[in-house]
Amino acid sequence: MKNKWQYRKIGDVCVVERGSSPRPIDQFITEDGGGINWIKIGDTTESMYITETAQKIKPEGMKKSRYVEPGDFLLSNSMSFGRPYILKIDGCIHDGWLVLKDKDEIFDKRFLYYYLSSKATYQKFKHMAVGGVVNNLNSEMVRKIDVPVPSKDEQMDTADLLDKICNIISLRKRELNCLDDLIRARFVEMFGDIRYEEKYQGIPLRRLCTTISGGTPSTKCSEYYEGNIPWISTVSLGPNYIDGSTAKGYITQEAIDNSATKLIPAGNILFGTRVGVGKSSINDVALCINQDIVAIVGIDKNRFNVLFIKYVLDTYQSYYDSIKKGATILGITGDDLKNTLIPVPPLELQNQFADFVKVVDKSKFTKTFGLLRC
């Protein structure tokens, strides 16, 4: 039945308008209980709904802004552009938002939300978005997007089904997070809080390994990206082990020879120093890295378990976050990473922890497979 659905332009079925900010905004912010909700990106959560705001503006600020009501859709038009939300509150929005008002109430709110948040719609937005460092959507672009308009009953049935799927996915994610917490608790149980305790003497990482920085082959040479060597960004980092399946691209040997990227042998730690600072993974296959990643290689396997060191680095996440610097992109330096103190417990104890992690990972795989089947 989906192929029989009628499609219409968003601009034909919704009023699309951009937000506006009273300026200077600091003069309009108020703590008065009678203030108007001032809706910002920071007020969003993983939910499809916006239910509260951290700030309010004076009533006179509403005249210089855009007033929105419960049931309206908000669409972020910069940074994380194209992300939709349904309002549960009224308030005012700044120019980082677009508001979509269902003209004739032809949509089930959830149905439109799911369609606007789909990968297919995001790709349309991405193709249309303009900008330099930050892509932007404008109201005219959004008005041109096609949306399906099945009957209200079909919309409700579709939304109900997607609600059930999302609930199952959320449950599986919570279960996976619990398993991650279990690993962290086991680490502290076995080795203590290594940031504050001196249970084991710490050695600077620089004395235990060599670090290799990455790079990006020229995007002007399209043939560089027609190879079979995985080339990754920090988006791929996080899981304990990664292969080439989440690569940003697949490059040629010529691309490696003519750029700063490096081919990293399997079995080493890949660590994000920018755009995902502190994320790390061990590569199961040889692959190349971009400039936001440092490879930690040459670890003495007779003295250290690589998975143990990865988890040591994970425990320093809050510290790395606290020392990030940069004008436009925050990051840490290679020296910051290499100065990290690595405790030296007995190798047998490290291996016991690594074995525990692998058992938990098998359970995570089972739950992830179940999630994918949903």
Per-residue model confidence as pLDDT tens digits over 304-355? 999 999 999 999 999 999 999 987 788 999 999 999 999 999 999 999 999 9
For the chain, what percent of residues have pLDDT higher than 90? Answer: 69
- Rounded to the nearest integer, the mean pLDDT of the chain is 89
What are phi and psi for residue 300, nearest 5 degrees?
Answer: -70, 105
Tell me which of 93-102, 118-127, 184-193, 234-243 is least confident. 118-127
Determine the straight-line distance between the first and last CA of the chain, rounded to whole angstroms. Answer: 22
pLDDT value at residue 42 = 84
For residues 193 and 63, what is the distance between their CA atoms, to the nearest angstrom? 53
CB 117 within 8 A of CB 123: no
For residues 184 and 356, what is the distance between their CA atoms, to the nearest angstrom? 11
CB 194 within 8 A of CB 202: yes
Structure tokens given for 115: 């369609």
Per-residue model confidence as pLDDT tens digits over 198-249? 777 889 999 999 999 999 999 899 899 999 999 999 999 999 999 988 898 9
For residues 76 and 209, what is the distance between their CA atoms, to the nearest angstrom? 44
Q: What's the length of the chain?
A: 374
For residues 279 and 90, what is the distance between their CA atoms, to the nearest angstrom? 38
Burial of 85 (C-beta count, 10 Å sphere; 0-12/13-18/19+)? buried
In this model, does residue 370 exceed pLDDT 60? Answer: no
Residue-wise burial string across 166-196, b where 16 or more C-beta atoms lie within 10 A, e elsewhere: eeeeeebeeeeeeeeeebeebbeeebeebee
Q: Quick one: which of 279, 272, 200, 212 has its CA closest to 239? A: 279
pLDDT value at residue 372 = 47
CB 117 within 8 A of CB 75: no
pLDDT value at residue 177 = 82
What are phi and psi for residue 249, nearest 5 degrees?
Answer: -170, 175
For residues 277 and 374, what is the distance between their CA atoms, to the nearest angstrom? 32
Q: Quick one: which of 257, 237, 261 has its CA closest to 247? A: 237
pLDDT band at 79 (very low <50, low <70, confident <90, very high): low
Q: Is 365 helix (H, G, I), strand (E, B) or coil?
A: helix
Q: How does strand 263-264 pair with strand 293-297?
A: unpaired
In this model, does residue 70 exceed pLDDT 90? Answer: yes
CB 15 within 8 A of CB 101: yes
For residues 191 and 343, what is the distance between their CA atoms, to the nearest angstrom? 9
